[in-house]
Each structure stands twice: as C-alpha cells, then as structure tokens.
Amino acid sequence: MTRMLRNLRIVLAYTAAGLTVVAAILTPFLLMDVFTRGVAALGVRVDPVYSGGDAALTVTRPGYRIVVNHPVVPKALLPAVPAFVQIAWEPASALPARVSDEVDVDNDGRPDLVASFAVPRDPDAELRVDVTPLTSRVAPTHGVRRDSFASLITRIGDRILVRVPLGEWKP
C-alpha cells in the first residue's frame, strides 16, 4: 500500500509539473488581449521619435497618396536627435519608377521641399532620397539612406517613409 501511494504521488507530481509547463506556455497567448487592452487603457504612447508622429495631412496623387506627419521635436532626453518631419508615400506598389514630389510640410499651401527617389520593384533594394528645400523650414539632404532617426528613407510594408530634418521651424 505504501509503495502504491508513493507511485501515485510521483505520477501526480509529474502531472502537475507537466500542466504547469503547459499553462506557462499558453498563458501569454490566452491573456495577450487582456494585456493589450490594459496597456491601451493606460494611455501609453510610443514616442514620436520612434513612430514618426501622427498624421497631419494627406495629399492625393494619381494612384497614390502622400501622408505628412506633424513635425517631431525630440524631448530633452534625446538631445542627439534633431527635429524632423516624416512623410510616407503609399502604396509603394502604385508608385512610379521615379518619384519627385513637391510636399507642403506645414500645411500653409506652399510646398516646402521636393523629395526625389527611385522606387525599385525589389522591396529589399536599398533606397536613397534627395530633398531639395524650397523654404527654410527643412534642411537639404542628398543620397540619404538610413543615416539617422531624423534623416532616412525606408520601405515598411507597402509604404515608403522619408524623414527630413527640419531647418527653421516655428510651430
């Protein structure tokens, strides 16, 4: 009888251990929605330095659109990142082989820059952008790739994002 109790305890211990491992593996998947809603309810937001800020205006072109975000002026915690504005061309699959667009970044009705870049069909191909300022609100760039947070071009999904450093910016 003692041996049978001992064997039963061992079986129960291994069963409990196995169920604990299964519960530990499944818990994040089962509770992910609860965690996501909990964090969203806290009002936590990704810093605009990483997200590029919120959309300010959308300009429609034949077959594609240009989304201009609000300018991003980094906080004191990130002094090495200069101020920038993020612009997205979407969908990238509808863009012509060469893009050269005038863009109004401050929504005053006058273009502030001309962004020019090639759009290779290979989504993994390296991109380069030239930005010619038309006002002092933006800084010029030439041949920019992924140089910094404030000066880059990259393809994310079916969007091409360009970040342009700001020149003289007065909100």
Residues 114 and 156 in one domain: yes
CB 119 within 8 A of CB 101: no
Q: Which of 32-41, 85-94, 160-169 has the highest mean pLDDT?
A: 85-94
> Whole-prediction pTM value?
0.73
User: How many distinct structural domains can be found in the chain?
Assistant: 2
The mean per-residue pLDDT over the stretch 12-26 comes to: 90
The mean per-residue pLDDT over the stretch 76-91 comes to: 82
CB 87 within 8 A of CB 70: no
23 or 67, which is more confident?
Answer: 67
113-118 β-sheet, strand order:
98-103, 113-118, 129-133, 141-144
The residue among 10, 29, 44 that closes a domain is: 44
Contacts of 91 (CB under 8 A, 6+ apart): 64, 158, 159
Q: Which tokens sit at 156?
A: 């994310």
Residues 5 and 83 in one domain: no
Query: Where in the sequence is the domain holding 6, given as residue range(s)?
Result: 1-44
Q: Give the pLDDT confidence of 109-133 residue by residue, as tens digits.
A: 899 999 999 999 898 899 999 999 9
Residues 91 and 124 in one domain: yes
